[in-house]
A = this chain, B = another copy of it.
Amino acid sequence: MEKSYVSVFLLLVAISCALAAKDAGKKETKETKETTVKPKLPQTLSRGWGDQLIWTQTYEEALFRAKHSNKPLMIIHHLDDCPHSQALKKAFAESKDIQKLAEQFVLLNLVYETTDKNLSPDGQYVPRILFIDPSLTVRADITGRYSNRLYAYEPSDISLLYSNMQKAQKLLKTEL
């Protein structure tokens, strides 16, 4: 019973953020034009997920760094116009524990999906957090609490996210 409520709730989430995604494209085009006229501060790689953390720019860079630094990679898919993404970002940025632990990861936040289907084991929704082992194995076993969106997190799930980050730090020893 509880589960089905969550499912319905998350279905709504998905719908609202999917719409947001489409709008985002349009709005961003507008913003780009406006910003060209009025210069503002340089854009950051952190996008508000933790300005003091080291963020990689691209998926290729993130894979390279994970492999060569032997650190797990955390990939956050989000959208500027998705209220759920924004709420999770706030919780993520404000949690000192999360920010501290995040230093031990190679970090990437993405607004645009990559072409790698391994990054969407159960679909392309936001917010969605995936971990990748330095052996370049997607840790599909590290999931949140929603059965229909395995890699989604709400702000109230921040302690689950923390323990999942700890789980991701226990590196896979073998690659088959």
On A, residues with C-beta under 8 Å from B are 1-6, 8-10, 25, 28-29, 32, 35-36, 39, 42-46, 51-52, 54-55, 57-61, 63-65, 68-69, 103, 110-116, 118, 121, 132, 136-138, 140-141, 175-176
Contacts and interface: CB of A to CB of B under 8 A. Distances in A.
Given A43-B45, A54-B43, A57-B58, A118 B64 contact: no
Contacts of A115: 60
A52 B39 contact: yes
Contacts of A8: 59-60, 63, 116
A51 to B, nearest CB: 4
Given A3-B137, A43-B46, A52-B39, A64 B10 contact: yes
Candidate in A52, A60, A65 with the most chain B CB atoms within 10 angstroms? A60
A137 B5 contact: yes
B32 A54 contact: yes
Candidate in A3, A5, A32, A116 with the most chain B CB atoms within 10 angstroms? A3
B43 A55 contact: yes
Contact of A60 (B25, B36, B68, B112): B112
Candidate in A52, A68, A112, A118 with the most chain B CB atoms within 10 angstroms? A112
Contacts of A28: 65
A55 to B, nearest CB: 6
B6 A35 contact: no
Contacts of A60: 8, 10, 112-115
A17 to B, nearest CB: 16
Given A6-B116, A6-B137, 16 more contacts: A1-B140, A2-B121, A2-B140, A3-B140, A4-B118, A4-B137, A6-B118, A6-B136, A8-B59, A8-B60, A8-B116, A25-B64, A29-B65, A36-B103, A57-B58, A61-B111
